[in-house]
Chain A
Amino acid sequence: MSRDNKTGIELAQVNVWFGEGEERVDAVIDATFSVPHGGSFGLVGESGSGKSTILRAITGLAPTWSGNISVLGSMLGKERDKGFYHDVQMVFQDPYASLHPRQTVDHVLSEALYLHGFKNPDKRIVQILDDVGLEQSFRFRWPHQLSGGQRQRVAIARALIIEPSILLLDEPTSALDVSVQAEILNLLTRLRKERGLTYLMVSHDLAVVSHMCSEMAVMNQGEIVEMLDVEQLRGLKAKHPYTKELLDASVQKRRGKP
């Protein structure tokens, strides 16, 4: 795949559903948006709104979808090849569930390098631990010896060590303490700047998305109800009633009201 393409991710009329026949549940309905290469795009909505499902459709974890998804200018089929996983990586929501309990940090990172045929694994592991702000002493630890924030740093290292150009972030901070959340968000912002990454981030937290993303789509019950850029959001210029509701809730939370 060519890396100098203008678009990072492009979705056109994407539907995702689970189950067949009477049990069919439409998780995403007619989603259309595009993320420019090097851009940062947020998907906002409450749980069950289908925002994570979009990420799963892109990565191939949700096999039943229709419409067009293209990544770095090439259209995706039903199967994903290794080249795709070299370009697109994902950071999961729960760092307590996304690391194999019987594998050390070193094992996780070297397997990623092995799968993509990288040379000099030792040097790269030392480098990536540095990049995500983990001391070298963490290299041979087991997941149960790490805190939530440290685990999420390992998960980010695992995704970035194979040098993807697109990073999908599935609520990367929602399982963490508030203070740790800020650290991880700053880390992600710095890494994007340093590596010129494209982010597609899912969150239920408008504050997080407005910190990280220049554009966003608001989702409700599987549909994208409104697209906003960060200026419109900060000026509280939402048009759709659902977005206004979300904004109000977020502003009230900031002011410490229930």
Chain B
Amino acid sequence: MNSSSELSQKGSGWREWLLTDAPASRRQARLSSWYRSWLAFRSNPMAMFGLSILFALLLIAMFAPYLAPYDPFIQDLAARLSAPGTGGYILGSDSLGRDILSRLIYGSRITLYIVSLVALMAPIAGLFVGTAAGYLGGWVDVVLMRITDIFLAFPKLILALAFVSALGAGIENAVLAIVLTAWPPYARIARAETLTIRNADYIHAIKLQGAGALRIITRHIWPLCISSLVIRVTLDMAGIILTAAGLGFLGLGAQPPSPEWGAMISAGRKFILDHWWVATMPGLAIFIVSLAFNLLGDGLRDVLDPKKSK
């Protein structure tokens, strides 16, 4: 009793320390602003739902060997195409008698791998190109934006297909192809944001303090562009997963026997009329993860939008 009240008092002390109007150090100011964002984010139930799905996905990927009931590669031709719930296969088995649930669990690693690589590379490339074009203007802007336009003019999946077929099939090349097709919209967004920011008084002010272009772009413009890019990236994640799945489906992404979700759908399409679960289960997995990213993106938009007054 005594210790619990002490604990709650200590807890409220932390809260007060985080929510103070007069932080006493750089660290406190930063933590306080993060904590406020977290509180705003937490009040959005749909976003929290999305975040918890993704958190669960992360845990599943981390502990896949402990969670999966079977080895994802072990075939049991006697039990091929078992219906969900029969023969110990909770989500059924595929055409080679491999457990679909185990394959989905291991496949989450591939999905997260693709998603995080693309999320790291494409927005950063777009941020570099967009902010440089927007801030420096002139011929730099013209050259960078025409290159962006050329990339935008291609249909995404077709361009990714062309890249993959040139580079060879495989996950890494699929990621590279997706990045090459995904960065131009980020460059556009970053440039548009930069154009609205570059003539703001606070940019003039730092310029008048003698800061160079590189410093202004990376220290003053990036922090304001990043939030809209993060929102856009989370909203695009669904599309990226689908593109990766599409490449897998066409046989240009992950190669068998890798349990990549798109490739699993592709393998299941031959049996889709008689054995619906083979294609449906990975489809459901893709659907749930894409939905989670979309919900998360919506929530982040509410929290991170710098134009929204706090």
Contact = CB atoms under 8 A, between A and B. Distances in A.
Interface in B13-36: 21-26, 28-29, 33
Contacts of A101: 202, 224, 306
Nearest to B310: A144
A98 B205 contact: yes
Nearest to B309: A144
A141 B210 contact: no
A140 B20 CA distance: 11
A142 B33 contact: yes
Nearest to B28: A140
Contacts of A142: 29, 33
Interface string A63-107: 000000000000000000110011011101110011111101011
A141 B24 CA distance: 9
B206 interface: yes
B10 interface: no
A112 to B, nearest CB: 5
Contacts of A85: 208-210
B25 A98 contact: no
A111 B206 contact: yes
A82 B208 CA distance: 9
A10 B206 CA distance: 24
A158 interface: yes
Interface string B188-221: 0000000000001110111111110000000110
Given A100-B202, A104-B26, A141 B310 contact: no
Contact of A162 (B26, B200, B209): B209
A54 to B, nearest CB: 15
B223 interface: yes
Contacts of B205: 90, 92, 98-99, 155, 158
Contacts of A86: 210
Contacts of B309: 144
A140 B21 contact: no
A81 B211 CA distance: 10
B210 A59 contact: no
A141 B25 CA distance: 9
A242 interface: no
B155 to A, nearest CB: 37
A138 B210 contact: no
Interface in B263-310: 306, 309-310
Interface string A121-142: 0000000000000000110111
Given A100-B220, A140-B28, A142-B33, A115 B209 contact: yes
Contacts of B21: 141, 145
Given A100-B220, A101-B224, A101-B306, A90 B202 contact: no
Nearest to A107: B26
A65 to B, nearest CB: 16
B209 A92 contact: no
* Closest 7 pairs between A and B when the two form their complex, measured CB to CB: A137-B22, A98-B201, A85-B210, A140-B23, A140-B29, A82-B210, A97-B201
Interface of A: 59, 61, 81-82, 85-86, 88-90, 92-94, 97-102, 104, 106-107, 111-112, 115-116, 137-138, 140-142, 144-145, 155, 158, 162
7 contacts: A59-B208, A98-B205, A101-B306, A104-B26, A106-B29, A140-B22, A141-B29
Given A102-B306, A142-B33, 6 more contacts: A85-B209, A92-B205, A98-B204, A116-B209, A142-B29, A155-B205
